[in-house]
Amino acid sequence: MAYPYRVYEELRREAPVSYFEPTGQWLISRHADVNALLRDRRLGRSYLHVAGHEEFGRPAEPEFQEPFWRVIRAGMLDVEPPVHTRLRRLVSKAFTPRMVESLRPRVRAMAGELVDAYVEKGGGDLIAEVAEPLPVTVIAEMLGIPDGDRHLLRPWSADICGMYELNPTLEAQHTAVRAATEFSDYLKALAADRRANPGDDLVSALTQIGELTEDELVGTCVLLLNAGHEATVNVTGNGWWSLFRNPAELARLRADRSLLPTAVEELMRWDTPLQMFERWVLEDIEVHGVRIPRGSEVALLFGSANRDPEVFADPDRLDVGRADNPHISFGAGIHFCLGAPLARIELAESFGALLDRTSKLELREEPEWKPGYVIRGLHALNLTATPA
Ligand code: HEM
């Protein structure tokens, strides 16, 4: 959708809780409500730990999807406590702010190399040449995926994400299942190898944890590889596109590089890369006097929460120096993004390298949005780069 923000404005004002017939979901559009429901344990990312499909009035998934859900449901994002608590504890050791900060020099060097090559050619598609390779390489290196196999990751991840759009086509579903199966087979083979010959990487470290089942190990790696780049790519593309539409803010950032950290947060707020997350209602709840019964599904509209005037002064204005910015793009509560410190480093380093190494970046053509609403990103962003 080119610009969902007008619709959100009306929802927040007129109907902060509204039932949306086409998807059978309750839409929640205000920041305070989205934030509170993300933290509310009466809701869950899954219901399968407390009830079956039948009790929640949902059809069981078609059998052909089993290999897909087996992988996805073994990752921490799709489980609830106590399994979530255990998985998150095991994996979070690799993502402490200190551990992640130690990666900064490597991220900076990689961003520098990618941007040098890009500027040397006079520019090109920023998404394919800088936005994608940076986070894909960082997370692949962390996990220890061999260099020669990295080209496989992006297509697998993109195909898997196809299942998360509203009403995916049958073809998209089959493509997602095939990708999950191939990815999973690949990781099982890699883990077997690392179990025997451990290296200094996350896959090796995970194979040494006796508590982790093989499905959990594979599910964790798939989650880290997908979550570890998909949104970062889109924030880079959407972020530059936002700056081109607000040239005074781009000029302000060029003139004062100390604004980089607030600019990254603001770009994530202003054009939200993951527009919506869903939750299942495990016990009846009430929001603004509306009772939402157990078994319902709520759609938390992150893109709307991030433009809520109750929380953000002048919310439709892009302000790269915005100081008070409690945006919700990394979520909240127990599933708060594990990779947020890493994403922040990657974004600051890539925006910083592009600003440092160019005197000018110009749009060659109007970019096109990828289809789909939940994951918001551009197909390509073609630019002309003038070296600094
Ligand atoms: C700008 C980039 C990113 C954005 C906007 C983002 C956003 C999010 C959001 C909104 C959630 C919570 C979803 C929910 O509550 O339903 C989440 C969870 C997660 N993210 Fe990120 N993410 C980003 C980058 C990363 C990176 C770089 C990594 C890893 C290297 C990562 C790993 C994870 C993991 C493992 C979870 C699941 C946490 C849990 O269930 O406890 N993310 N992310």
Q: Of 120-134, 158-172, 292-306, which gets the smallest average pLDDT?
A: 158-172
Q: Which of 228, 235, 225 is nearest to 350 (CA)?
A: 235
Reported confidence tier of residue 1, pLDDT bands at 50, 70, 90: low
Determine how many CB atoms are found less than 10 A away from the CB of residue 317: 12
User: Is the CB of 339 inside a 6 Å radius of any atom of ligand 1?
Assistant: yes
Distance 35 CA to ligand 1 centre (A): 16
Contact 10, 285 (CB under 8 A): no
Q: Picking from 213-222, 250-259, 264-273, 300-309, which range would have the lowest pLDDT averaged per residue?
A: 213-222
Per-residue pLDDT of 57-95, as tens digits, reads 888 889 999 999 999 999 999 999 999 999 999 889 878
End-to-end distance of the chain based on CA atoms, in angstroms? 35
The residue contributing the CA closest to ligand 1 atom 39 is: 335
pLDDT attached to residue 325 = 98
15-41 residue pLDDT tens = 999 999 998 999 999 999 999 999 999
Ligand 1 midpoint to CA 359 (Å): 33
C-alpha of residue 158 to centroid of ligand 1, in Å? 16
The confidence score (pLDDT) of residue 97 equals 82
Instruction: Report whether pLDDT(312) > 90.
Output: yes
Contact 37, 27 (CB under 8 A): no
376 Cβ below 6 A of ligand 1:
no
Closest listed residue to residue 249, CA positions, set 350, 320, 316? 320
**Token pair of 341, please?**
């410190």
pLDDT band at 304 (very low <50, low <70, confident <90, very high): very high
CA-to-CA distance for 206 and 147, rounded, in angstroms?
20
pLDDT at 173: 95
Question: Contact at 8 Å (CB) between 354 and 364?
Answer: no
Task: Give mean pLDDT, residues 231-260.
Answer: 97
Count Cβ atoms within 10 A of the Cβ of residue 136 and give its class: 0-12 exposed, 13-18 middle, 19 or more buried.
buried
d(CA 78, CA 48): 10
| Average pLDDT value for the chain | 94
| 3-state secondary structure labels for all residues of 299-320 | EEEHHHHCCCCCCCCCCCCCCC
> Is it the case that residue 4 has pLDDT exceeding 90?
no
**Ligand 1 pocket, residue 219 CB under 6 Å:** no
> DSSP of 115-149, one letter per residue?
HHHHHHTTEEEHIIIIITHHHHHHHHHHHT--GGG
330 in contact with ligand 1, CB cutoff 6 A? yes
The H or E element spanning position 277 is strand 276-281
pLDDT in tens, 332-342: 999 999 999 99
- Nearest-atom number in ligand 1 for the CA of 331 is 10
223 Cβ inside 6 Å of ligand 1 = yes
Atom of ligand 1 nearest to the CA of 302: 10
How many whole angstroms from 340 Cα to the centroid of ligand 1?
A: 7
Please state, for a pLDDT cut of 90, what percent of the chain lies above it. 84
Cβ of 164 less than 6 Å from ligand 1:
no
Ligand 1 centre distance from Cα of residue 343 (Å): 9
| Contact partners, residue 172, CB within 8 Å, separation at least 6 | 162, 163, 165
Q: Which atom of ligand 1 is nearest to the CA of 343?
A: 27
Nearest ligand 1 atom to alpha carbon 279: 16
pLDDT grade for 208, boundaries at 50, 70 and 90:
confident
Q: Is the minimum distance from the CB of 337 to ligand 1 under 6 angstroms?
A: yes
For ligand 1, whether the C-beta of 274 sits within 6 Å is yes
Q: What pLDDT was estimated at residue 2?
A: 65
Whether 350 shows a pLDDT value over 90: the answer reads yes
